[in-house]
Amino acid sequence: GAGVSQSPRYKVAKRGQDVALRCDPISGHVSLFWYQQALGQGPEFLTYFQNEAQLDKSGLPSDRFFAERPEGSVSTLKIQRTQQEDSAVYLCASSLVSGTLVHEQYFGPGTRLTVT
């Protein structure tokens, strides 16, 4: 596909369960970003990769959140021991270059996580 894809699109988890969210970026895009979007708000930065290197994880809300991009392409965001406050849409975006003047990011459709 030409765009960023994410799976699953919807995930319902019971409190305390672990979840894994997948992102397939646009082929050849160097940078990959994860954002969390609560209802009625803009996306909040979680973490950022350049190729396989995680350069910024300052937005991860707790040590229950972990992201990886082992081969510099597909990325997985893992949330351990989910809590109700983790309920949100998790957006993945990719960008052709990084560290430049312009940051044009292309977003996937998101994964809506509901923790019950």
Partner 1 sequence: TQLLEQSPQFLSIQEGENLTVYCNSSSVFSSLQWYRQEPGEGPVLLVTVVTGGEVKKLKRLTFQFGDARKDSSLHITAAQPGDTGLYLCAGSRANAGKSTFGDGTTLTVKP
In the bound complex, what is the minimum distance in angstroms from residue 18's beta carbon to partner 1? 24
- CA–CA gap between residue 59 and residue 12 (Å, rounded): 23
Q: Which member of 17, 50, 73, 76 binds partner 1 (CB under 8 A)? A: 50
Residues near 89 by beta carbon (within 8 Å), at least 6 away in sequence: 36, 37, 38, 110, 111, 112, 113
| 7 touches partner 1 (CB under 8 A) | no
Q: Please state whether the peptide bond connecting residue 8 to the residue before it is cis, i.e. omega within 30 degrees of 0.
A: yes
Beta-carbon-side half-sphere exposure of residue 47 (alpha carbons within 13 Å): 21
Q: Which member of 1, 2, 28, 42 binds partner 1 (CB under 8 A)? A: 42
| 41 touches partner 1 (CB under 8 A) | yes
Nearest to 31 by CA among 105, 108, 91: 105
| 68 touches partner 1 (CB under 8 A) | no
| 1 touches partner 1 (CB under 8 A) | no
In the bound complex, what is the minimum distance in angstroms from residue 101's beta carbon to partner 1? 5
* 88 token code pair: 């949100």
**Residue ranges that bind partner 1, judged by CB under 8 A:** 4, 31, 33, 35, 40-45, 48, 50, 55-56, 59, 91, 93, 98-110
